[in-house]
Amino acid sequence: MNLLKNLSIKKLLVHVLVLIIASSIWLPSIHFFFKEDIGNYLDDKGISPKAKMLAGRQLQIWRDPELRKIELQKMQNRNPEWDFMSRTFFVLSLANMAIREPGFKDEACEIMDCIIDTTLEAERLNGMYHFLMGYANHSGPWKIDPPRSIFIDGEIALMLGARRLVMEKPEYAILHRERISLILERMSKSPVMSSESYPDECWIFCNTIALASIKMSDVLDKTDNSGFLKKWIDTAKRSLTERKTGLLISTFTVDGSPIECGFGPEGTSIWLTCHMLQIIDQDYAEDQYLRARKELSGNLLGFGYSREWPVSCKGYMDIDSGPVVPILGTSVSASGLAFIAASSFHDKEYFSSLITSLNCGGFPLEKDGMLYYQAGNPVGDSVLLYAFVEGPLWERIGGKGIPHD
Partner 1 sequence: MRSWKGLFGKELEERGFHMIKAHKRTLSVRRYMGYAVFITVFFLLLHVLGFREYTSAISGILPGYKETVFGLIYVFMYFAFIGFVPILLISAVILTIWERALSGKINRPSDN
6 makes contact with partner 1 (CB under 8 A): no
User: Taking the complex as a whole, how short is the minimal distance between the CB of residue 71 and partner 1, in angstroms?
Assistant: 10
User: Taking the complex as a whole, how short is the minimal distance between the CB of residue 11 and partner 1, in angstroms?
Assistant: 8
How far apart (Å, rounded) are the C-alpha atoms in residues 179 and 150? 10
Q: Of 23-31, 160-168, 273-281, 292-300, which segment contacts partner 1 by CB under 8 A?
A: 23-31
Q: What are the phi and psi torsion angles at 193 (to 5°)?
A: 55, 40
Q: Of 26-34, 56-64, 84-92, 152-160, which segment contacts partner 1 by CB under 8 A?
A: 26-34
Q: Of 25-33, 118-126, 138-146, 394-402, which segment contacts partner 1 by CB under 8 A?
A: 25-33
Footprint (CB under 8 A) of partner 1, residues 207-246: none
Nearer to partner 1, 7 or 402 (CB): 7
Footprint (CB under 8 A) of partner 1, residues 70-99: 74-75, 77-78
How far apart (Å, rounded) are the C-alpha atoms in residues 210 and 142? 18
DSSP for 97-166? HHHH-GGGHHHHHHHHHHHHHHHHHHHHHH-GGGGS-GGGGTS---SSSSP--HHHHHHHHHHHHHHHHH
Q: Find how far residue 213's CA is from the centre of its chain.
A: 15
Question: In 3-state terms, what secondary structure has residue 375?
Answer: coil
Q: Which is nearest to 313 in space by CA: 254, 269, 349?
A: 269
Interface map 342-361 toward partner 1 (x if CB under 8 A): ------------------x-
Footprint (CB under 8 A) of partner 1, residues 362-391: 363, 365, 374-377, 380
> Taking a C-beta distance cutoff of 8 angstroms, is the pair 97, 389 a contact?
yes
Footprint (CB under 8 A) of partner 1, residues 46-75: 74-75
Q: Which is nearest to 341 in space by CA: 295, 397, 396?
A: 295
Using only C-alpha atoms, the chain has a radius of gyration, in whole angstroms, of 23
E strand intervals along 179-325: 202-203, 251-252, 297-300, 303-306
Nearer to partner 1, 252 or 305 (CB): 305
Q: What is the DSSP letter of 357?
A: H
23 makes contact with partner 1 (CB under 8 A): yes
C-alpha pair distances (Å), 90 with each of 94, 128, 151, 369: 6, 20, 16, 19
Nearer to partner 1, 28 or 46 (CB): 28
Nearer to partner 1, 3 or 125 (CB): 3
19 makes contact with partner 1 (CB under 8 A): yes
User: Taking the complex as a whole, how short is the minimal distance between the CB of residue 285 and partner 1, in angstroms?
Assistant: 29
Nearer to partner 1, 70 or 311 (CB): 70
User: Taking the complex as a whole, how short is the minimal distance between the CB of residue 299 and partner 1, in angstroms?
Assistant: 18
Question: In 3-state terms, what secondary structure has residue 265?
Answer: coil
Footprint (CB under 8 A) of partner 1, residues 108-137: none
301 makes contact with partner 1 (CB under 8 A): no
13 makes contact with partner 1 (CB under 8 A): no
How far apart (Å, rounded) are the C-alpha atoms in residues 293 and 100? 28
Of 13, 18, 67, 328, the residue at the interface with partner 1 (CB under 8 A) is: 18
Q: In the complex, which residues of this chain contact partner 1 (CB under 8 A)?
A: 11, 14-15, 18-19, 21-23, 25-27, 30, 33, 74-75, 77-78, 360, 363, 365, 374-377, 380
